Structure 1
Amino acid sequence: MGNKIRLGIIYGGKTSEHEVSLLTALSIMKAVDKNKYEVQPIYVQMDGTWLKGGPIADQVLESVNVLRLDGGVSPSSNDQEKQGQITHVGNQSLVGKPANVMSIHQEVDVIFPVIHGPNGEDGTVQGLLELAGIPYVGTGVMASAVGMDKLMMKNVFAQAGLDQVQYMGFLRSQIERDVASVMNQIEQKLGYPCFVKPANMGSSVGITKAKDRDDLRRALELACKFDRRIIVEEFIKAREVEIGVLGNEELHTSVIGEVIAAKEFYDYEAKYKGGGTDLKIPADLPQQVADRIAEMAKTAFQALDGSGLSRVDFFYDEENDRVVINEVNTMPGFTPFSMYPMLFAEAGIPYAELIDRLVQLGLERYEEKQRNIVAAEELE
């Protein structure tokens, strides 16, 4: 690997969480140990085109716009124009050149994929990296896919014996064909209020809390804009708490944090644009409840066959002393001010060290997979 580990960071993506991914990538690039890592930016544009920038060995990036390799300052020479556009970083430049996974394979030792949501967090990028034989940070294809799809995730949780709210799943075609029938079913089983969500979105995109039939119709219409599979969940009065999991087979959990939303629920605007939401770290919980949450988080992580990192979200119903799992996020927000890094910072693992641990876990997982026999002849 030479003197430095060549760390590729894949960011952007064909997703409504494109901007969140840019923030995450910028944060990692600024924080990573420059004495240990050389960073290779790999930008996936909204149209799905891949671009790679020049290696970053010691620059300190300050703006998300630097990472938009398709939108920098146009170079003056024709040769440079043919290679791509340039975004200047002080006296340095990041050149946006067309990229493909096989060319990237020759230029990196490990990838940190930080595309959030569909077409990135759902096993698609992970599968591409598996085929290319490139080590990467985070969960594998199956865990990423199941962790992205809320309906599949809940089926796995049920099999693992984890308590969760009542829920129903629908196809967009069902809703478009007979929305009245769908609403009747929801009212009979779940009642109001209830939460309507696209099955395959993150960062609370497309989620609505429906309080009556008119709300429900609008919520279903909104969710259908984002996915063909829709999940509707029972509402319970409870505190929203979150915990981080770190590791491959030997798992470590963070402290627990609590989301105290100024609005009715912790939506996209509250997560990324402020809005008065308070994150209490650590959460004020009885020790036995905290222990129960930590064990349930590990169970959920193992049920998905997770690796590297996940943030596991729960509801705590104080009145009934009930802990209910909500979901697992296999690539949580990862700026220094996102919940997952903050939880581990409180547990004694600062941001730069957390990045380093995750890279090492990705490399360890890759080496473990190399032990697998892939051809019958290897048995001879």
Structure 2
Amino acid sequence: MANVAVLFGGISPEHDISILTGLQAERGLLNSIHKVSSIYWSKGGDFFLLPNGCEASSFASGLPAKVEKLTIHLGDSPGFYQGGKSFSKPKKLEIDVVLNALHGGPGEDGSLQALLNLAGIKYSGPGALGASLGMDKLAFAGLCANLGIAHLDRHLLSHTTQPQTITFGSPFILKPRYGGSSIGIDVVSDLETAKARLRTNVHLKLGAVIEPFRSDLFDLQIAVKTFPKLVLSAIERPLRDKSGGEFLTYKDKYVGGTGMVEAPRELPAKLSDVIRESIYNYANRLVDAVPLRGITRIDFLSNGVDELYVNEINTIPGSLSKYLFIEPMIPFENLLLDLIAEATEVSTFAPTTAGADGSALSSAGTIASKLG
């Protein structure tokens, strides 16, 4: 039995969806062999220990009742601590594994992972390096190019981007370089409008990428589970809003209050054998190259017949992609238990000081001599 803390919320536009995923995970583990607690990361950046059984509506206008603020310590005896007010000594929260249910922002870009590494806390999902690569759309496109994986042309968009550097024609689709798969996305007809969006779209503040907008292509998705062995889920074709939107929107994905579980879809997707086998091939190649850990959703664009492009990866997908594991069928509790087992057995952090033997210091002479 392990002490498992489900961590959700976070400083991200996907804060609300993370709450849904976290509450689903908590419920999915309550009847397991593990002792389960929940930690909520507020929009203001504070951590809170929650009572079990909270509902999503409890977070709509603030904090649920009976929460307790936590702090996280590094150094001696690192970890999450509760209490410590009125001269009382803070008490370390017993946590063996954090089940990471955070989407977007510092919960999925490697920031939290690096903090947990330094605090000596084991966690599910990607390590800091895999998470940061998965969040950077420009770097991920470069990886795909290096591997020979088909990908639509993608360029960095900045205020200094010149027309001659764009290798494709309009219309263009703009995406946050370090954002999720649907928030902040915009379709524009020319480069000047694209550059103007850098000033008006808050989601593009830290960086943006520009791609050709292909209205003839549709979305396809597959989930990858890495432990105890590699398992690929069924392939899904998410369906766009009946209003005929230009791309799969946040609303299309997250309806009904249960993350992506109730979103309209074709599952399994009806595809040609060529497209299906290419999806399996690309998914297998990306596992080691990123590297992937936990449950990852890989998103594609395709015409369903003879064109397929890897679009991006979501290293902590909504609802942990539980609804995709129908071929083979894997119960949600089993998915969660495997995430916990992987977090316990497969390390994401291997610090070493090998090579720092003091020889460079002993031969350095005086620091004063280095300043001349």
- TM-score, normalised by the number of residues in structure 1: 0.79
Going from structure 1 to structure 2, the CA distance change for 1:232 and 1:200 (only over 3 Å counts) comes to same
1:164 counterpart (147, 151, 158): 151
Look up the match of 2:294: 308
Percent of aligned pairs with the same amino acid: 27
Post-superposition shift, 1:227? 3.0
Structure 2 matches for 1:138-153, cutoff 5 A?
138-153=125-140
Uncovered stretches (5+) of structure 2, i.e. residues with no partner = 81-91, 357-372
Going from structure 1 to structure 2, the CA distance change for 1:277 and 1:24 (only over 3 Å counts) comes to closer
The aligned length equals 334
- Please identify which structure carries the higher helix content: 1
Post-superposition shift, 1:96? 1.9
Distance 1:185 1:11 in 2: 43
**1:349 paired to 2:334:** no
Identify the range of structure 1 (269-278 vs 196-205) with the bigger mean alpha-carbon deviation: 269-278
Deviations 1:15-36 (A, max 9, x none): 1111111111111111214241
**1:11 paired to 2:8:** yes
Post-superposition shift, 1:214? 7.3
Structure 2 matches for 1:38-77, cutoff 5 A?
38-54=35-51, 56=52, 61=53, 63-66=55-58, 71-72=63-64
Deviations 1:265-288 (A, max 9, x none): 111122113699631110011234
**1:279 paired to 2:265:** yes
Going from structure 1 to structure 2, the CA distance change for 1:35 and 1:147 (only over 3 Å counts) comes to closer
1:198 counterpart (138, 153, 176): 176
**1:100 paired to 2:92:** no
**1:245 paired to 2:237:** no
User: In the alignment, is the contact (CA less than 8 A) between 1:249 and 1:307 conserved in 2?
Assistant: no
Going from structure 1 to structure 2, the CA distance change for 1:267 and 1:222 (only over 3 Å counts) comes to farther
Structure 2 matches for 1:326-365, cutoff 5 A?
326-334=311-319, 340-365=321-346
| Cα root mean square deviation, aligned | 2.9
Distance 2:267 2:338 in 1: 22
- TM-score, normalised by the number of residues in structure 2: 0.81
Deviations 1:49-79 (A, max 9, x none): 122235x4xxxx251144689624xxxxxxx
Uncovered stretches (5+) of structure 1, i.e. residues with no partner = 73-86, 88-93
Deviations 1:278-310 (A, max 9, x none): 311100112342122011012122211111121
Identify the range of structure 1 (45-54 vs 152-161) with the bigger mean alpha-carbon deviation: 45-54
Deviations 1:188-243 (A, max 9, x none): 53222221011011141100122356753554444454432110011232231100
Identify the range of structure 1 (249-258 vs 139-148) with the bigger mean alpha-carbon deviation: 249-258
**1:255 paired to 2:234:** yes
